[in-house]
């Protein structure tokens, strides 16, 4: 039996080690997380202007933001390698399995971070570069090295750093920190706790095994489920603010309400605790929720501007006819 167990462990590792090295380094960047961040950043760019975003700002802005985010994710992999090796969800990560060395990961994080900040500083604007650097320090060091292991409110406090991408996109276009960009940050900030706590419910035993003070471990599952519901209600309220202040219109309002009710359904299902699959279903839905919410923001923004534009076109045309 011991020999059979050893074989069952080695075979998966040998299979994964056979993949190209570039895929291991790509995995260090947490590409699916970064893609969602880039979507939010792109929406922030387009919401910052009534017209089109210059292609240089769009391309270099997203490139720089993506590289800095990938660098911070690699730092997270380095810091959590020992913990990752003990958790089923993360045990096959590149550093945890030894496919990528700590030195290689550190060089990769340093290079991608430096290149990303350079792109933002020289090809976008210094403000966006400074904000990305602050977020990199916040996530890569303050959250990963200290907050994550220090308090069950790690997700709440550290969520501020992960909520910043739409502001990065906004400042890339406007070169200023404006209320609209900060409102987008608020939405993601409030979205973060129910998103991660749902996953923490599913992985409670693993977090307890590595002494990670996630809320279900320190305060119990019932307490966590209740707080997911409370944060979901708060999220629904915050998601309506763009409509309330005139930043968005009816299309966004309908979309935000529909998506919010879907999130509320799963939050209530968690509190009722009758479905063992509810935590992961809530976690997956939260990702869909955020992506679609920002797409509704984007679609509504250009619908409003197209209506405004169509309403102002006749006047110049009539003036031209009179002058002729």
Token duo for residue 131 = 């904000």
Q: Which residue has the higher pLDDT, 129 or 317?
A: 129
Q: Can you give the pTM of this predicted structure?
A: 0.88
Most distant pair of Cα atoms in the chain: their distance: 94
Lowest mean pLDDT among 3-7, 89-93, 100-104, 173-177: 3-7
The answer to whether domain 22-154+168-175 has CATH 3.40.50.300 is: no
Q: In Å, how far are 87, 249, 298, 300, 323 from 304, measured between CA atoms?
A: 48, 7, 10, 6, 30
Q: Assign 307 a pLDDT band (cuts: 50, 70, 90).
A: low
Residue 319 has pLDDT above 60, yes or no: no
pLDDT per residue over 99-150, tens digit each? 999 999 999 999 999 999 999 999 999 999 999 999 999 998 899 989 998 9
Would you kindly state where each structural domain of the chain is located, as residue ranges?
Answer: 22-154+168-175, 178-307
Lowest mean pLDDT among 12-16, 56-60, 67-71, 120-124: 12-16
Residue pLDDT, tens place only, 204-238: 999 999 999 999 999 999 999 999 999 999 999 99
């Amino acid at each position: 039996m011991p020999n059979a167990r050893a074989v069952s462990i080695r075979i998966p590792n040998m299979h994964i080690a056979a993949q190209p090295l570039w895929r291991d380094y790509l995995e260090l960047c947490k590409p699916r997380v970064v893609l969602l961040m880039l979507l939010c950043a792109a929406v922030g760019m387009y919401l910052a202007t009534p017209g089109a975003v210059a292609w240089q700002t769009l391309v270099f802005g997203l490139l720089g933001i993506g590289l800095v985010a990938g660098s911070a994710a690699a730092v997270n992999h380095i810091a959590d390698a020992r913990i990752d090796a003990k958790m089923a969800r993360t045990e096959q990560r590149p550093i945890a399995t030894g496919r990528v060395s700590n030195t290689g990961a550190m060089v990769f994080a340093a290079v991608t971070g430096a290149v990303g900040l350079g792109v933002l500083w020289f090809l976008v604007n210094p403000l966006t570069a400074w904000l990305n650097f602050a977020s990199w320090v916040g996530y890569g060091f303050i959250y990963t090295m200290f907050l994550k292991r220090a308090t069950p409110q790690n997700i709440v406090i550290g969520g501020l750093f992960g909520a910043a991408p739409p502001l990065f996109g906004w400042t890339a276009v406007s070169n200023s920190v404006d209320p609209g960009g900060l409102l987008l940050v608020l939405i993601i900030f409030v979205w973060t706790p129910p998103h991660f706590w749902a996953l923490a419910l599913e992985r409670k035993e693993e977090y307890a095994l590595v002494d990670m003070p996630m809320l279900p471990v320190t305060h119990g599952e019932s307490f966590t489920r209740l707080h997911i519901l409370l944060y979901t209600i708060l999220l629904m309220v915050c998601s309506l603010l763009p409509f309330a202040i005139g930043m968005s219109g009816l299309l966004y309002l309908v979309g935000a309400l529909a998506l919010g009710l879907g999130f509320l359904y799963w939050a209530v299902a968690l509190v009722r605790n009758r479905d063992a699959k509810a935590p992961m279903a809530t976690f997956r839905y939260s990702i869909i929720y955020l992506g679609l919410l920002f797409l509704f923001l984007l679609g509504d923004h250009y619908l409003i501007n197209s209506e405004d534009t169509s309403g102002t076109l006749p006047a110049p045309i009539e003036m031209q006819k009179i002058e002729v």
